[in-house]
Each structure stands twice: as C-alpha cells, then as structure tokens.
Structure 1
C-alpha cells in the first residue's frame, strides 16, 4: 500500500536553532497516526510543513509516492491536505456558511449567492453529522461547534489527509465522543489523519500508530496495540511514568477556607474545608460544577445562600479584588481569555501581581521598580522560564511556557490559598512534571492548594483529599486511601455519596 504522506530527512533550521532534525514520518490511508511529544519537540513545525504553512530547510516530502513542494496552505489544501490548527482560522463576525465558503464563494452572476451557500453549507454539515445552523454567527458558537465548522471547510475538495492539532483540548466528553465517531467515518473512507494531543488516554481509542518526538528528532514510532501509556511517557520525557507525580508531604495546618451550605448558579449545598499544607483535588465531568463552585468562592459569580469564611473572616459575596487582597488567588483554566495579557511579555504579566502585592504591603504610592524586576527574575528562574522567552510577547510562547507564566503570577501575589483550575490543560508531560513540583513546593511551604482537574489521574495523584462533583453537588469527599479510579468514577454519576 502506498503512503499518503511520507517525509524523508525533513529538517527545519532557524538561526541558532534546529527545530526539526532529519525526521522520517509516514501516514497510510485510513489510519490515525499520533504525533506525541513535549512542547518544543517539533510537532507544530512538522505539521506546518505538511500543511504548506512552512518550507523545509532540507529533506523531501512525498504525497502518494511523488515528491511535492507546497507553495502555501491553499496549495496543500488543493492537493487534499487540510489542517485544523489549535488556533482556528474562522472569522468570528461572519456566519457559518460564509466561513465555510470563504475563498470558495458561490455566485449568481456578479453577485455572491448567499442563499445557495447557506443551502450547500446545510447539506455539508448534515452529511458530516454536525447539527449547526449555517446562518449562525461564528462568535456565538461553542468551541466544539467552531471546530466542526473548521473541519467542514476541508470538504470542498478531495480530502486525503486531515491534520488535527489538539482537537479535544476544550471539548466536553460527549463532544469528544462525537469527534471520535467522525474520525472513525473518515478512516473508513480511506482518509489519513495526523493527530496531535497531550491526552495520552485518547490514543488507545483512535490511534493505529504513535510517533514520539523529542528535541526536534524522532525517538521512535510504535504500534498503539503494542505499547501503553507508561512506555509512551518514558519515550517522550526520558522519565518513567511514576516519576511524573511527586510525593507531597501531608502536614495539614489551620483551616483557611470554610464553605458551608453554599448555593450559587449551578451549585447546590456545598460544604467543605481547605487547610494549610494540603492539596485538595476537585474532580468531575465537564459541566459538573467544579469550576463554578470555586468561581463563586472567588466572588466571580454571586452566592445565593450559605457562607464562605477565609482566614476567619466572612467573605461571602465580597468583591474579588478584596478576596485576592486577603490572600486567595485563582488561576483560570483559560489563560488566553482570563489569565494572561497575551500582547504583553512575560515580565509585564508577572509585574502586575508583584506591584499589587507591594501596594498591599505598605510600600506607599511609589513602585519599587528595582525590587519588582529582581522579583520577576527570581520567579522566572523558579518556574524555569528560559531567559530568551521573558521579553517575548506572551502570545508567541508555547502553551507550556504560557502556563509557567501563569503559575509565576501566584508567586508574585504571595497568596495563602491558591486555586489551580485545570492547571495542565494543553501542557505536555515534561512541563506537567515541572508544574507539579511547584505545587509540591507551595504545599510543603504551608500554602493551601486546590487543584481542579478534568484529568482524573492528575486529580488522584496530586491530591491529599478529593472532592467529587456531579450535577452541581459534592457527591463524595475521599481521603488518599479511599481514592481509586473505580470509586471516583462511580461518584461522577451517582449522588449517593454526597453526605460522606
């Protein structure tokens, strides 16, 4: 069987950097071939060349056995290769139909035929099993729906290869199931799929082969049926799987946060405590209310009844700024929309929290810039943010490095209780290990830590105690000895444990 795509010695060099180093890769018809590696391993560089967005410095790219050189993304698309990047190419102010036919517009004489485009877009969406109104404005769609629109754009021509870059990072479990059903249909039609994801638990469901990249080079290609998660992690990081999660000393101190009978939008009757020196995990399916619970604690959504006490003071419905000032800090799961100013560099993002901390520490109206800059350098060193990345716009950093900046903000604030909401979303295993060590350091220094996670192994391995939520209700409170995957999953759907 001829290969759909084959690369031989593909290399990409930038001044002083080899981003991709003589990579051999191939894709067969009707298979899902996963690219797996840490941030900076070369995955994005490789797919940018497969997609026509980048030209190799050396090496050859073959399509159906014939050597090709893509002049542009449009050129690659014309040859049947379509890429759904993590950052979508949709125009949010246009309709679904207008986005699908952008560059492929149907005309009635000299005029655009919007009626025909809406009708054809409706047919295309229905053929793919996507229930989306072609007249809807893209900005009003969920991320999953936007992804469906992005995929639909690939079906103007003869689709041979679909490249999916972190397609499930922001999807619910049900949406992931729908995506995988769609992938199975494409495989049955002979379409080859290059799939990039950090969610290693997905690979067994959809992948035939996995190629592991590290530092721009191929470490190996393995059949998914002949490997497992532990082996893939070790290939990717050079470390065994059990070295990813550190052992965190459990020395609980005074109770910092006490929540009693809390009812808020999407939350009913929540009761729990958080103590110094402990890591409290919070688990549940997407939509279970685990984020809504702590957004209410932070004053980001209104509390309808119940009480919240922090360091002995009632902070129920207090302004978020006041709650932060008292020593509680929340790291949003959406670093791009809420956590970071992407137009500013890492130093500026960190400076905001350090300056706020100075003003609350009696330094008067003047900013102590020498102390601020010294603290920024200290934090960057601490979170292992390379010196070359500190003055770059944050938008140009990898997801892992953006997450390091986000973590750094809590060091600038010097909070007593830190809430990490989905702290490793879209982050590779190597960066995860580094971030877990920071959490360990904070907890063992006497900070109270909350880790909200949709990644069950993360929630179970990093936490001393675990809250499980379902349908806005705390269904279980488990100690480390009581945590097992079967037990936790039971409470994802069953509310009988709420009184525990």
Structure 2
C-alpha cells in the first residue's frame, strides 16, 4: 500500500478563500461543549468556531478528544454540557439523522459501510431507487457511476464493496457523504489507506467542495497534509483545546510541542544493537502475489519492506505467517528448514503478526480489552481448561500499564478505544506471547506522533531482548529512519536492498515506482 504526501500533487497550494470571504461568520460554533464518561472527561469545556467554507484541521494524540468531538458533532453521542450553534441558532444534534439534516456528515477512518452490497447500493443506502416497491438496482448503478465519474473517482459502481481495497472503500464513503448535501464535512484520517492517485483525487474534491462553500474539518496525523490544505488548525491534548492557529502563523514544531510537549526530533527513536543469530531466512520464496524473495532477519535487527500498493510485501509476510500457502522456495527458522502451513504453525515457532487492518484482522472489537490482550496466551493462564481470573487480570493490567493504553477499565470493549490505543492492543497481545520474530504491517497508520514514538521505543525494547522485526510501511521516512536493512518491492519482486541510510529517498522511490518520481516530496522528503 502507498500512503504519501498527496497535497503537493493536487494543486499549487493556494486556498480557495472566496467562500470564506463571503461568509466570515461561523457556520458552527461550540460554547463550553463537553463530554464525560463515568467521571472521565473525554472532552473538557470547549469553545471553538468553524467558519463557512474553511478547511479547519484538528490535530492531537490518540485519546486527545478528536473522536469524541466527531461523535458529538455528528449526533452519535449526547453531550454532557455546553451549547452548539448552527448558523447562529442553537441545535441539539441529538441524533445522526438531525446532524445529517443540517448538512453535517463525516467520513471515518475505518469504513462503516456494507461490504456485502454493491458500490451503488452503498452510495444510495437509505435513499434507494424504488418503483412500485421494487429496487431499481440497474438505475442505481448507472446513477452511481455518473457520480463517481463526476467526482473523478475511477471506480466501478457495479462492484461488491468488499472486492475493493480499503482505500477505494474510503473513496466510496467520501462519495456518499459528498452527494448527501453536506455543508459541514468531517474527514477523519482520510488518506491513511489511499494510494497517491486516490489521495490526489480526494484532495481535488476537497478543494472543489471548499470552493462551493462547504466547511471541511480535516483530522490527520500527517503534518504535511495539514499545512498544505488547512486554513486554520486547532490542537487538542488530553481532552482540552490547547489553541487554534492560522496555518500561516505556525509551524510543525510548534504544533507537535502543543500536542505532546516534545519536539519532532524526539519522535523517531532508534537504538543500535549488535546483530545476533539468524531468526528467519527465506530462500527464493514464492506465493500468490510475490516470487523469489530471499532475505534474512537476525536477532536485534529491523528489516524494512517498502513498496507501492500491490507490490507483494503483505502477501509475502502473510505467507511466512502461514495464512497463505507458498508455491515454491523454503523458509528457515533458526537455521532449520520448516514447513509453515497454518498460522498455528507460525505462532508455535514464535512468529507474531500485527496485520495491516487492525479492526478487521487484529482485534475482536466487541470483546473486552483484557480478552484481546490475552488471546494468544490463554493456555498459559489456564489449568485443566479453567481460566485463572486473577492471572488473566494481572496479565492484562501489566500490558495496559506498560503500553500506556488509555482505557477506562480492562473490561471496556476494544471498539470504544481510539485507533492508536487499539493498535497498542494488537501489539500488546503478541508481547504476552513472547514471540521471537515480530512482523509489523503498517503499525503506525492512523496513530498520532506521540503514539508513534511509543511504538518505536517498543521496537527497541523488543530488539534488546533478542527479537527481530520485519517492518512494512508505506511511509518512506519511517522505514528509512528505522530499518537496519531496507528491501524494496515492486510487482511482487524484490528489486533493491539497502543498508541503513545507504541510499537516498529518491533512489528508493525510483526503484519502487520503476521510474524516476515526478516529485521527490511524494516520499515524504522535506
């Protein structure tokens, strides 16, 4: 997958300010808005105004209150106190239907559509085309295709949603929101799963909507996108609005300091360790989506895999993990050839996989935090088939404390936590297992800079204990700064390998693209 700096490719950086000039008064204003959960202040009394036609970024760590703010504005949860004014008039926003009627809508980081239905059915969900009580699906497909074409989204309206990539599903969710008469549209980490092309399409649409007077609230952990798109930016920390700045009057260092009280230099954390024995070796390993991959991971080493969407990185590691069969080649574990046919085989050896999609593949969202953390180790917590509740609680509490997982209780559902804290659970359950090789597939997608720093320090802790790490990331600066050896994938093949920082960003991206990049900033290079 490829997630890059799309903003620089979507325009020349000038903001469509005509709509703002025409209506400088707030379209939505919050006065003392707050939310409490059983004594926990998720959002402390907040005063904030959004101007008509502006792009207003919201930044902050996971758990800072961003998700709570979204839920309050879209009517998903009731507020504890304060007032909300829409075009100067007080509104309750007590239900999602009321919010939608006012023109307030959201495109969430995790797609909340119906995967078993067609793209067209999802776009017109709740507003289906009927005749004499019968669904006119062919007409819906035709009209949906016109909507997608008009928006510049090269997507098939007749396809089943689950057949599309996560990024493409995100664009469908955007199309659905954009066609429902939205006047106030919230984007929550919209580019986390998008390719460069998809991101450029999204940014072009956002600018178009802004020019038409739509207010955009843009929530992102990618600072380059915030500075390229936004007119103003507000910072949340621990449920408190720290401040609002005009984008022209601030910089990345100031915003990060406001968010986490640390400088940007402290984010990427890498300790050097002496490499030990080989943990994993693949020799000409081939499978669905990749072929002839040979690499080695040693104790104390981070091996990075970089490439664009469909390059074969995820397919390679899921085959190593036993999720998909190999077609040829061999896998060696601590020098001995092994046959990994099932995930159970990999787990038994000591291989752990934190998958790309934590919600779909890494968590049981409706179940408690403690159960998710302990899933791989329940045999160790049981005797005679009976789970020891004291051991279960102690194990979960230790991981919650060590990983600084923000949860009201170990019994809270995983779905109730922020994205960054959910990712900590995915990682934490494998720490309990005591694995020797950790595969992290996009471990920092949708998490804030503070949580990223914690995850990077966790990498160092694992390496210090003699573990090895395979790190897959579509954000080139991440693998560039952390990987001791970086392998570049393209179209299912390994096309280049580099020692730590032995090649430039541009060289690496050129190999991944198969040609010289049109703009090196796509690699995240500043």
User: When the two structures are superposed, what TM-score results if normalisation uses the length of structure 2?
Assistant: 0.85
- 1:20 alignment partner in structure 2: 43
- 1:461 alignment partner in structure 2: 481
- 2:499 alignment partner in structure 1: 479
Cα distance in 2 between the residues matched to 1:187 and 1:369: 54
Unaligned runs of 5+ in 1: none
Aligned pairs (5 A) from 1:420-435 = 420-435=440-455
Question: 8 Å contact 2:407–2:417 — kept in the other structure?
Answer: no
Deviates more, 1:121-130 or 1:176-185: 121-130
Q: Displacement of 1:386 after TM fit?
A: 5.0
CA offsets 1:220-264 (integer angstroms, 9 cap, x no match):
222334433333222211111111222313211111112222222
Cα distance in 2 between the residues matched to 1:397 and 1:122: 36
Question: 8 Å contact 2:308–2:512 — kept in the other structure?
Answer: yes
Mark the CA change 1:148 to 1:487 in structure 2 (over 3 Å): closer, same or farther: closer
Mark the CA change 1:209 to 1:286 in structure 2 (over 3 Å): closer, same or farther: farther
- 2:3 alignment partner in structure 1: none
Q: Displacement of 1:436 after TM fit?
A: 1.6
Question: 8 Å contact 1:251–1:444 — kept in the other structure?
Answer: no
SS at 2:271 equivalent:
coil
Cα distance in 2 between the residues matched to 1:327 and 1:97: 44
Question: 8 Å contact 1:96–1:138 — kept in the other structure?
Answer: yes
Mark the CA change 1:417 to 1:455 in structure 2 (over 3 Å): closer, same or farther: same
Unaligned runs of 5+ in 2: 1-23, 517-526
Mark the CA change 1:281 to 1:5 in structure 2 (over 3 Å): closer, same or farther: same
Q: Displacement of 1:382 after TM fit?
A: 2.2
Cα distance in 2 between the residues matched to 1:153 and 1:441: 44
Match of 2:217 among 194, 197, 203: 194
Do residues 396 (structure 1) and 419 (structure 2) align?
A: no
Cα distance in 2 between the residues matched to 1:287 and 1:205: 28
Question: 8 Å contact 2:490–2:513 — kept in the other structure?
Answer: yes
Aligned pairs (5 A) from 1:166-177 = 166-177=189-200
Cα distance in 2 between the residues matched to 1:112 and 1:414: 53
Match of 2:463 among 435, 438, 443: 443
- 2:303 alignment partner in structure 1: 280
Cα distance in 1 between the residues matched to 2:122 and 2:416: 26
Aligned pairs (5 A) from 1:252-401 = 252-356=275-379, 371=391, 373-385=393-405, 388-401=408-421
Q: Displacement of 1:157 after TM fit?
A: 5.3
Mark the CA change 1:364 to 1:64 in structure 2 (over 3 Å): closer, same or farther: closer
Question: 8 Å contact 1:78–1:157 — kept in the other structure?
Answer: no
Question: 8 Å contact 1:31–1:187 — kept in the other structure?
Answer: yes
SS at 1:33 equivalent:
strand
Mark the CA change 1:229 to 1:413 in structure 2 (over 3 Å): closer, same or farther: same
Question: 8 Å contact 2:59–2:235 — kept in the other structure?
Answer: yes
- 1:470 alignment partner in structure 2: 490
Mark the CA change 1:113 to 1:413 in structure 2 (over 3 Å): closer, same or farther: closer
- 2:438 alignment partner in structure 1: 418
- 2:521 alignment partner in structure 1: none
Q: Displacement of 1:356 after TM fit?
A: 4.7
- 2:127 alignment partner in structure 1: 104
Aligned pairs (5 A) from 1:70-149 = 70-108=93-131, 117-149=140-172
User: When the two structures are superposed, what TM-score results if normalisation uses the length of structure 1?
Assistant: 0.89
Q: Displacement of 1:114 after TM fit?
A: 5.1
Aligned residues: 493
Q: Displacement of 1:56 after TM fit?
A: 3.2
- 2:522 alignment partner in structure 1: none
- 1:54 alignment partner in structure 2: 77
Q: Displacement of 1:135 after TM fit?
A: 4.3
CA offsets 1:129-155 (integer angstroms, 9 cap, x no match):
334444444344433343333333335
Question: 8 Å contact 2:480–2:501 — kept in the other structure?
Answer: no
Question: 8 Å contact 1:357–1:412 — kept in the other structure?
Answer: no
Do residues 180 (structure 1) and 200 (structure 2) align?
A: no
Q: Displacement of 1:322 after TM fit?
A: 1.9
CA offsets 1:100-156 (integer angstroms, 9 cap, x no match):
334434554666655654544344333323344444443444333433333333355
- Computed over aligned residues only, the root mean square deviation of the Cα atoms, in angstroms, reads 2.8
Mark the CA change 1:481 to 1:96 in structure 2 (over 3 Å): closer, same or farther: closer
Aligned pairs (5 A) from 1:156-235 = 158-235=181-258
SS at 2:412 equivalent:
coil
Do residues 493 (structure 1) and 513 (structure 2) align?
A: yes
